[in-house]
Structure 1
């Protein structure tokens, strides 16, 4: 039987690379958390060709996804040098440790993970396996658990882990005797990156691990109604990473390990009415397996019209080029991620006449020929100061010098220059006049580059565009350059400190932080370093925490966690991750406690005793105040420190006789009270000591002078000598002298006082009376006085004492008794 076969198998790329930054990200550096890796998964099996939609939704579905991380010490490490680090697993719930959420993004998916970096293993290969929970060995047994690598503080490996080479021997699970391959389909993809202080972006294309067969049959013309399809002498499982399959000596031997797949019902849209897509899925094989499709159904006899049950075994073969009609067809290998179409052209009861077509199986594009003028290719560097590769198309330059970039392309090139980040200096790298030549049908273009002061500058990208090609970014080549490993630059975060703390950048290479030595006290600083900041060991009593990363700037919070062990003068080194000898050291000095400041109370909710005016004298550190000696006499003052306005920031000691308490509802407001006036002596000062709670040796004092509230009496200096002060509250008066003279007494009442009346006291003492022109009042206002003028009385023969009693307005303030005696 003569058959013709059309082969059009388009290989798929397993990893789509782009212009990467120094941290492995594409294009401009996104913001996010330091060490974060953002994954972008292309539609399952997307190739570099532009092809129209072929795959169904179920064939693109990602039901579950695991990302296996392998680390290596260098960018050019081979699979045997990459060792297993950890696994991340997709979840539909809120992600926990080691989990991520897969988000749709157009025709792709995105996810973010933050690996646990192993010291000394900054280069990562991310191995993604979709729709298969566990890896298996080729014989169908489950792979043993992966061993994780361990390193010490220097980055040396202390425990070796499973290598990437060993993991790439993994297979899918074996089909059961009655099993069939169903969607979602097993897919794999890999990507590489380097962990840095910035966010990395990795693009990964997932590739299906099975092949698909479409069957084109129209019953109306072929008289064949297909009811099921299967594969004979097929592989029971498939390699996840394209491992070389073992050859089978005799594929017809039941012990060969090859199997006959279970029948798959032939149904769905267009079944037996055109092309039924995805009729059956099979694992890749070798051409020596002699695999064949098994087609079952009924054939309508052209002579009797009877539906006859039929089974056809159709070898998966192709006809060699220049073959003669008598030459046999050759079996072909079935490849992963390829689409095979069986086109049935004619059928008899014993034979099927058909052709095989092998096509691309993608999720987007039509088989359109890519433009002849494709992406420019980097050929080499030349000149005296050539850059060195960091990773991919990311290079490090000298601080100053020149070199050439030599590019090849199918047309003339133009070059554009851009910063990797939004802002920064770009002119440290300039491109001069280019030269070009034609050779072997290609244009060779040399771009002269000059470097000036590259150290500490942001990376610059050069994008090379083939003028004869599409301006699609996929057809452009981008090289990114950064200067030598620089010392990180430290800056202060505005409003990033707790109260009382500060950062001094007067000497940028020797910054200082002044911190209150208290738990929770903190300062915030930002470090700019293109290469990222190395791991930081927190000093005893302190914590150093990454807060955020924006581009190449990482923000840290330095906090005191234990005030008793946090040493004054501690230093913290922020080191360039690529060259830890380049570092900036932050010195922490403890803030010296401030002297408590004592001022008058400004809180209207708290008022002094009405007789105390609360006047504050002296200075803020040595204050004076007067208080009347009355039980419960009270004044309020405000005492604060610059470190804190919280309750307890200022402590207080007071001598006996005075109580001092901070108001709970108004921290910093202190009530000063004399509970018992008898415990103090008027005019004898007492001191209240206010102390800074962070250092109680730093103090301020309030000196209180107690004042008597008792009314007082005084004899005017101008009074005649006929009046004698007995110094016991009594006066002796020579009445004979009063016929022509008067005398005055002044009564002063600090808190106010009063006398019942000014007539009764003269009963029996008519030898004396108050002057009609200045008799005085019975009431004395607080802080005021009354002047009483006396003259000779109308009854000279009487000699009784005149007793004047002035009662204090304030209870317990003390009263005044004045006794006037007639000299006999």
Structure 2
């Protein structure tokens, strides 16, 4: 597809892009190591064929008919195969293991993950197929996901936060191949794995961009084999073969420009409205909204490839891989930004910049197109002026085969062979299998090699960044030693000053590229030089070993307890004793030195003669927490040293405090010294299921054991918190038998530090008898009933009641002889006792009531009834006139006869009652009855009642049937009636 553009000038920043290679031959790096330990009999050989022209070592020869992808774009620096397993073919797949390839033979170690290295091999017939032999663990159905040239994966949360994903864990099989095989799922699940993406571009990374900010070779690729492989048959040992293809995760942009004709020299490229990254499976964009789009950091474009295309002159107008970008949907409305110089005339140029939108013009209407991954976009610049730029945009699949540069000069040098160092003039250097030259960072290190060619070669020493320490320099100008078939000697040495400055500043010695260029053909040979690394050091996991190792900081953290150890795997180089003779003997292994361990008390196990072996570091407990020292591991072959720092950690548990104790009851207590022998003591109210928790903070957890108290259960749970382990101990009374009567004193448990069994804390657990409720009369009860001690007294009158309160919620029940009482209150702090009806006194038995708390503690009270009746009259007093009193008897009321009554007749009565009386309305109207204020106290009152003839009463005839009614103030307590009569005077006898 060809797209033409007329682009308006606009001020913009240009962007940096890298190149993406597709095809070439292979030499191959060899990887070793891995954390898997399974027997080969439990593993299935799977030959994976990748249908890509992958490059395993950077050869420079380009044969006629080579595909468009450059060698760098096909280069494989790393390849990770993530194997996901499931017990069922269509079940849930989780991570089983990781197989990896590294061009520098480095190893991959992930805690909790089975990792295995493998080699890649290109087909001998140049068919463009790369193979790798994997040995997969049997037992499950598996699927394979491959990622090339990116060993880190990232995840973005819902709030937009992006972090590196590190939670990989291998699944675990209990009995592979057996019916009872149980599988503990690995992490992540297949579905979650497909959400992971590449590290996102940082648009602000303009000063020191990384390969993730300015995309460069080796380019990220991905591919998958998702048809489940059946590895459940342990009876089969036949090799399985599968094949699939890797796709580049980016799009490539080539520039065709003859600056002399277009009058425009491109200097920088960038992209607007671009995507920050892409997911691996499938390859799709990460950003979803306009706000997720960015402007890429600028990428410089050299003018060397912007000349007239001339095979004889060795010039070209094609810049291959000038820029790379992640896929971009058409709705992003993305555009390229080109910045450079416009030649106004032969002596004057002007800074200009243009935008090239991804549009296809049809009948004058622009339609945006997508930028697809694994596609090439060729931009041909035809004409420029200060205001616009005419371009053609051609789109093609990256793997389309076409001849770009058919020129193949015969005077080229051999770029595929590794250089051979001049042993007599080389010190501290070695050529690795992958062709890289390893140089020991030492002032005496140097190397010399010769290169044959039929023309003078140009040379340059290239560092990745401008700020890199220039630790490797040429040792004089190259010397031509032959004139016919020309041979040039190159010498290099370590710059001691630059090296020492970098070491002092903690700056890494970056890889160096020595580039030799044949000016006749334009072909190049690139020789990578690396600083010799000491042995790699990794942690060997051990059960119940809590010491740790930080591989990034090369620091071992060991708890300061005698006999604490840490096991480290040390992998050292293997080298030929005579690099010129591939059949010569090899030297390998490593040595250890503890000369600088300081006061840590660290010792190390014996030296290792093999390339890979384990060392055990141990402490004797004589140091102090925080003490530091170093242990040196030195490669026998290269003499390079890796220094591991050792830091002693404090193993002590945190001392218990009152704040570590928790309970939902205030009457459960914790005292640090109240136990026997001044040990900590927990006191619990003796109630079933009463419990407490005690938090213990320690570096790696504690063990908890109950040592006393059959009535007590102790459980514990440990969680991580801020780098410490917090163990929550829960104690519970599971058998409260007898605790209402007496407390228990034999409960005990012991807390032991997992790191140091000699450091233990004993905690005593006792119980107390539950507290019974305190009973009193309610302040709101103004009735006549009383409560004293444990006795409630009610008048023996129906409806009489008393309200009692308790200091805690209780339930009131009748224990005995209380059927005639009504009890109201439920489970509360207020209860009312009511007499249903008057009873015959004295009672045959005393009613007993029980108040019971939630803890089962009881308080008993009794109820007594007292006679409420008005005391019977025995006499009257203070009479005026003649008043005859007759006491009540035989069911008859008391009676007073006022003889020969006159208007001044009267008498008084002293009436004794429990709570006082009043004059009833039924009292006869011809009487005037008044009651004085009662005297006495509750339960014994005396009221003086005065009886007289009412004013206007007709006394001319005898009055009979009169009555005085004395009303008892105790409701239903019984009133008193006194019968009243008068007589008239006896007539005088007639004279």
| TM-score with structure 1 setting the length | 0.45
Higher relative contact order (CA 8 A, sep 6+): 1
Which of the two has higher C-alpha Rg? Answer: 2
- Give the structure-2-normalised TM-score: 0.39
